Amino acid sequence: MARSARSSTTRLFYTLCSSTKRTPLNPQHPPPTPVAALLAGNFQLRHYAASSATARVREEKDAVWRESLEKVRNIGISAHIDSGKTTLTERVLFYTGRIHEIHEVRGKDGVGAKMDSMDLEREKGITIQSAATYCTWKDYQVNIIDTPGHVDFTIEVERALRVLDGAILVLCSVGGVQSQSITVDRQMRRYDVPRLAFINKLDRMGADPWKVLNQARSKLRHHSAAVQVPIGLEDDFKGLIDLVQSKAYYFHGSNGEKIVAEDIPADMEAIASEKRRELIEAVSEVDDKLAESFLNDEPISSADLEAAIRRATIARKFVPFFMGSAFKNKGVQTLLDGVLSYLPCPVEVSNYALDQTKDEEKVTLTGNPSGPLVALAFKLEEGRFGQLTYLRIYEGVIRKGDFIINVNTGKKIKIPRLVRMHSNEMEDIQEAHAGQIVAVFGVDCASGDTFTDGSVKYTMTSMNVPEPVMSLAVSPVSKDSGGQFSKALNRFQKEDPTFRVGLDAESGETIISGMGELHLDIYVERIRREYKVEAQVGRPRVNFRETITKRADFDYIHKKQSGGQGQYGRVIGYVEPLEPGSGSKFEFENMLVGQTIPSNYVPAIEKGFREAANSGSLIGHPVENIRVVLTDGASHNVDSSELAFKLASIYAFRQCYTAAKPIILEPVMLVDIKVPTEFQGTVTGDINKRKGVIIGNDQEGDDSVITANVPLNMMFGYSTSLRSMTQGKGEFTMEYREHAPVSGDTQTQLVNAYKASKES
């Protein structure tokens, strides 16, 4: 009896073990009692239930953060100068309740637009720094960055687009697609930013939105169509027809805050129907789902069309065009609806980081707040309370008081204060999660640094920083203000990667370099206002470059004996020009065979050649597009050293430089000039005098638009000349295009001037 009871207990135990996938005990040992077996099974069930509950909680958490991120939009507003970006942002802030009254950019009340917080911005009526703010529209949080339109401040646009998920490209209904519109669009493509276009200023004389749309298709190569049709133009501009919803919208009230939706006016039904079909056709070309319905002649509902436009816009295959007049308070609310409907939330955009532990392998960032912290510092400002650092959080959560690590420097930093920015005002917050744009105080870093919580070593790809094209010599008027002067220059360098400070080795002058006359003028003015330092400014200088045109060999022995250990180093090889479009400006190639020069001296040789290339012998400017190849050499057991080989390299470079037929390169600017047609001949003649090459001449109403490539050296004081030639009616913009060889006579003049300055 006891035996049969024991065997049944054993069977029960084996059954329980097999059901919970556990290894049975050795039959030699007595098995546990039935109660123990049941308890063991119970524990397994409880463990399984707990793990599934944890998974369910995690899924619920994931669903909550996804839902919260779906209600976030990070957008930028960029355009050509004077297209109405800041005015548009001012209206957006008013309609979303962030500000309670509207002020104009150059308003008579002297207050100025909210986003132009610097005194200089309000005086000049231009945006200099990109400003960040946030607002709420229909339960969605919209983070906005208003960026400058002037080409001199192009880095501000680059920095904003790097961290945004979507953008609004503002175009003027009269000016159309202008030079800076093309530059901004190119930057949006570089950072894969989905965009909407907004044709502004429909109340102006000569407004023609369809001309602008065609220009965008031809000049910007946009696959685009209008999602709205204006009801009237110029002084008769009354409202808009929404082609997706098939409704007419009118904007009433003193500030256009009351929106009235009505049926499409009878006299506009034909054009609305034609434009809606055009819109459906354009979207069908890039969206398969809509194309199927369109080809089968199925009726297309508003919801289907809206979903198709959203898919195509996020995939960057389509650009929807909105219309309105920010100044006259028309069309801004419908544009905000378009931002929610068609631009992506942070989860719908692919962001990549580079894993430094795996040789910069690309890692996709999910945007999950429960993941490791990854944040990018994209803009620095010196505030009243120290350095203010703008961060875009790509993954994880950042809290006040947390310790974070700067991956670029390895420093561990505590966050003393976390704020959300509203132009130059701030709001303290305790934490921020993935997808948000915030600012932190007291964090010492440079623009473009990546921060993590230490669990990963990721860096975000760096931003594209253009080379400066113009320099000025500056010095403080009073010797006592030297400390403040240095402090100002150090701060501006940290804030703006395109602003460089150097020292002229010969004259001992401080040289500041930047993107143009206005850029440097603004900084000189800021030194005076913010640091109370009066500065003397020299004549602007152009940043020339030198390069070689043919291969030249070198064989140089550096020997020096002055008692004790001497110096000995011999380097043999050649220099040659790099192929066009190679990407790098200087290449060093080690083609040594054997141990004629010990390998530990090779870095010193490369350093010597790089140092020599910093100053060419023609006019003392840096040498670019050059490859140095080391083929042979010799060393001495006692006298050779790193210094000896570095000096040998410098002298070898100078020895072969003349034989390589060097030439001077100068910055050439792409200049867009808009003048009344009657002045076209005078302006064209003046461009030819300045050694410019005219590459385009278009007619826009009563104006001529002349496009030319002109050397920057010939463009100083051009704004004054243009005003006097055109009775103040002409305007121009210019941006850096390339460094190109100067003419023979110009080269001779520059070389002679350089020699004369050295002799004096």
How many degrees, rounded to 5, is the angle at CA 8 between CA 5 and CA 14? 145
Q: Is 45 left (phi over 0), alpha (psi -120 to 50) or beta?
A: alpha
Was 201 annotated as part of a binding site? yes
Was 709 annotated as part of a binding site? no
Was 167 annotated as part of a binding site? no
User: What's 623's DSSP letter?
Assistant: B
How many degrees, rounded to 5, is the angle at CA 226 between CA 283 and CA 136? 95
In terms of Cβ atoms closer than 10 Å to its own Cβ (0-12, 13-18, 19+), residue 23 is: exposed
Residue 404: closest CA among 351, 362, 461, 450: 450
For residue 445, which phi and psi values (nearest 5 degrees)?
-160, 180
Was 2 annotated as part of a binding site? no
436 touches 418 (CB < 8 A): no
* CA separation for the pair 63, 68 (Å, rounded): 9
Q: Is 707 left (phi over 0), alpha (psi -120 to 50) or beta?
A: beta
Assigned token pair, 386: 């120290």
Was 424 annotated as part of a binding site? no
Was 149 annotated as part of a binding site? yes
Was 146 annotated as part of a binding site? yes
Sheet holding 195-200, edge to edge: 131-137, 140-146, 72-79, 166-172, 195-200, 319-323, 224-226
How many degrees, rounded to 5, is the angle at CA 664 between CA 660 and CA 668? 140
For residue 32, count other CB atoms closer than 10 A to its CB. 17
Residue 216: closest CA among 229, 197, 230, 192: 197
Residue 664: closest CA among 716, 619, 715: 619
Was 81 annotated as part of a binding site? yes
How many degrees, rounded to 5, is the angle at CA 199 between CA 193 and CA 203? 160
Was 510 annotated as part of a binding site? no
* CA separation for the pair 347, 72 (Å, rounded): 9
Was 79 annotated as part of a binding site? yes
Was 519 annotated as part of a binding site? no
**In one letter, which amino acid is 295?**
L
Residue 260: closest CA among 201, 327, 333: 333
Was 86 annotated as part of a binding site? yes
Residue 259: closest CA among 275, 273, 245, 278: 245
Was 76 annotated as part of a binding site? no
Task: Return the beta strands (E) in 396-469 as ranges.
Answer: 397-399, 403-406, 412-414, 417-422, 425-428, 431-433, 437-441, 450-452, 458-460
395 touches 372 (CB < 8 A): yes
User: What's 543's DSSP letter?
Assistant: -
For residue 72, count other CB atoms closer than 10 A to its CB. 21
535 touches 527 (CB < 8 A): yes
Residue 427: closest CA among 437, 413, 442, 435: 437
Was 84 annotated as part of a binding site? yes
Was 147 annotated as part of a binding site? yes
Give the H/E segment covering residue 649. helix 642-657
Please report, in angstroms and rounded to a whole number, the separation of the first and last CA atoms in the chain: 122
Task: Return the beta strands (E) in 635-714 as ranges.
Answer: 662-676, 693-700, 703-711
Annotated binding site: 79-86, 146-150, 200-203
Annotated binding site for GTP: 79-86, 146-150, 200-203
